Amino acid sequence: MKFEDLEIYKLSREISGDAWEIYKNFEWETRKVIGDQFIRSIDSIGANIAEGCGRFHYLDRNKFNYNARGSLVESIHWIELLVERGIIKKEEGDALKNKMEILHHKLNNYINATKEHNRDK
């Protein structure tokens, strides 16, 4: 299966697009202080999913899935700071975090399925 066909990858790209719509409206200083880390962590989710799909062994593949999950949790941190500092509205942050919670659940399921698939061989 190609990584572009994975539901978790598609959802990560959707979240990335939503985050870009927020990021592109930041002023220069906000981008440099917090925005760049916010967008990089979110973009890293899909990049790690894609990279993991290019790996042969399931342990190597899941290493990148764990990295994707770590980037997802980091992204939630940045969203909470953006809301706390009044840079984005709470509603914007909550909408993004809701999608990320769905992705978190699906990514965990994908990691577990990858492990189970290997055990069954």
> Can you tell me the mean pLDDT for 7-12?
97
Distance CA 76, CA 89 (A): 14
Contacts of 89 (CB under 8 A, 6+ apart): 83
> Which has more confidence, 60 or 68?
68
Contact 88, 22 (CB under 8 A): yes
Contacts of 65 (CB under 8 A, 6+ apart): 48, 49, 52, 107, 110, 111, 114
Q: Is the pLDDT of residue 33 over 60?
A: yes
Quick one: pLDDT band at residue 58, thresholds 50, 70, 90? confident
Nearest in space to 24 (alpha carbons), one of 44, 39, 41, 43 = 39
Percent of the chain with pLDDT over 90: 80
Give the CA distances from residue 107 to residues 7, 13, 67, 80, in Å, rounded to whole numbers and listed in that order.
Answer: 9, 14, 11, 21
> Can you tell me the mean pLDDT for 44-65?
88
Q: Is the pLDDT of residue 119 over 70?
A: no
**Rounded mean pLDDT of the chain?**
93
Contact 68, 16 (CB under 8 A): no
All domains in the chain, ordered by first residue: 3-116 (1.20.1440.60)
Distance CA 84, CA 76 (A): 12
Quick one: pLDDT band at residue 46, thresholds 50, 70, 90? very high
